[in-house]
Structure 1
Amino acid sequence: MGKFNRQLVNEIKKEKEQESAQLKLREKYEVPEDVMIVEKDNMIKFSVRIIATLIKITIGIIIFLLTVVGIVSLVFPETRNELIFQLSNTLMQLKKFLNI
């Protein structure tokens, strides 16, 4: 037996993806089976999607950097002592602010 025709396999995969997308869209818009739904993007949807992606990437980078700072501050003794001092100082300020 020879290899599968890659173009044929790719076409079949695309057809299956399109069928599943149509099924989801039919459920979303409650349309009968004999209608093909085509969703078009407009500028607002595109902008919202791009902004949401940028926000997710930014939050991921911030979380990564905070994780690195936390690990570094726990590994090295000098930064660990400074971190503990800052945390205790912050707790004292919160107690003053909240009158506890």
Structure 2
Amino acid sequence: MVKLVIRKEQRQAQYYTEVLSENVGLEMTLIPGGTFLMGSPEDELERRKNESPQHQVTVPSFFIGRYPITQMTITIVMKMHQRMVVLGYQNTKIIQK
């Protein structure tokens, strides 16, 4: 039987709030990048063919929402995007400071 080991570490997270409107913001949390081994070893029990070959995967850092997105939030984002397209900003990256 496989022994499951859980390691807990207390750390600080980097985060910011993406302001979508006067009353709506998204709390975004940084997920640090890293490298891991993807796939299962050839001698693993109940292994499937699509789990090989094992290979290193590197994922860059990225931000992800702290909470699930609501339908209201999606509606606001879509309306903002529509306004940006009408104003000619569809290919412009907006950076808030």
Output the TM-score relative to the length of structure 2. 0.29
Structure with the bigger RCO (C-alpha within 8 Å, sep 6+) is 2
Q: Larger % of strand: which?
A: 2
Bigger-Rg structure (1/2): 1
